[in-house]
Amino acid sequence: MPSSFTTLISVPELQALMASGKPLMVFDCTFDLAQPSLGAVQYSETHIPGALHADLDRDLSAKHGAPGAAGTLTATEADAPASGGRHPLPNRERLATWLSSIGFANDMQAVVYDRNGANYCGRLWWMLKWAGHDAVAVLDGGLQAWVAAGQPVASGEEPTHFQSNFELGTPLRQLVTASEVQARLGQPGQTIVDARATPRYRGEVEPLDPVAGHIPGALNRPFGLNIGPDGKFKPAAELRAEFDALLQGKAPASVVHQCGSGVSAVPNVLAMEIAGLGPTALFAGSWSEWCSDPARPVERS
């Protein structure tokens, strides 16, 4: 067994880790954009024994502020978000406070999962890396893989953990701002990859944000393309070939990932790392922050 898991972990590997007695915390990040309260309900009904629920709105987004540019968010200095957009990223200090409150410690392995094709659990995977904690992995195949393997499930709420003192480390992943993305538009050192569905990217439909379209020059790779028919991430070689075809010679290190609100972009971040092409940067405010400023250019195709 490796000393830590940093990208994916399989069901057998998680079983072995649980049996080993090594410090571990499992997070169920199930969520539903259309029904924000549904994730907690689904977690309460069925989850991996011992897993805590990490809610996108409650735990993985800033507590204060409204959609728009980070500068327009109203918050105390301690709660000031690290990004704008529909799901503003909490700052690192606020993240550390939350992790401490649930008993997560620096010596723990974190395992995150959902039942949404790794769409939401990737957010916490990235946030922990950004907090300087490398020992975090996504359960490949999510809750569905756990259940399909005949593993036990639990219901209700899990017991609370003792307060810890999680300490931030040097960020292991790069966060970029809207102003940084705008300043580098059209430059060879920046390649934007948009994880939204192709009709949204083209500007044909826009169900969530006030403006349709995409950041000029952005490439499109819907995040669901990373998952195979079995519900797990595609093999590394297959992912690498697909990203090589998308980038067409552009340097992987130049990639900045975005989506609608910085959540579904993360499966692309993770997929590039599985493929041996990462780490890469994240524009967490994404399209919802970008299009909040009418001065920023918009492309439709």
Q: Which residues are catalytic?
A: 259
Flag residues of the chain having pLDDT under 70. Answer: 64-78
**Whether the domain at 8-148 and the domain at 175-290 fall into the same CATH topology:** yes
Q: What is the pLDDT of residue 231?
A: 97
CATH for the stretch 8-148 = 3.40.250.10
Q: Phi first, then psi: what are they for 229, rounded to 5°?
A: -60, -25
Domain residue spans of the chain: 8-148, 175-290
Pair 285, 84: CB distance under 8 Å: yes
Pair 232, 208: CB distance under 8 Å: no
What's the farthest any 2 CA atoms get from each other in the chain?
Answer: 55
Pair 47, 154: CB distance under 8 Å: yes
Q: What is the pLDDT of residue 3?
A: 87
Choose which CATH entry (3.40.980.10, 3.40.250.10, 3.30.56.10, 3.40.50.720) describes domain 175-290.
3.40.250.10
Distance between CA atoms of 202 and 86, rounded to whole angstroms?
20
Q: What is the pLDDT of residue 2?
A: 81
Pair 23, 105: CB distance under 8 Å: yes
Q: What is the pLDDT of residue 79?
A: 78
Q: What is the pLDDT of residue 64?
A: 44
Q: Phi first, then psi: what are they for 18, rounded to 5°?
A: -60, -40
Query: At 208, is the secondary structure helix, strand, or coil?
Result: coil
Whole-model pTM: value is 0.94
Q: What is the pLDDT of residue 71?
A: 40
Q: What is the pLDDT of residue 160?
A: 86
Q: What is the pLDDT of residue 77?
A: 61
Distance between CA atoms of 264 and 258, rounded to whole angstroms?
8
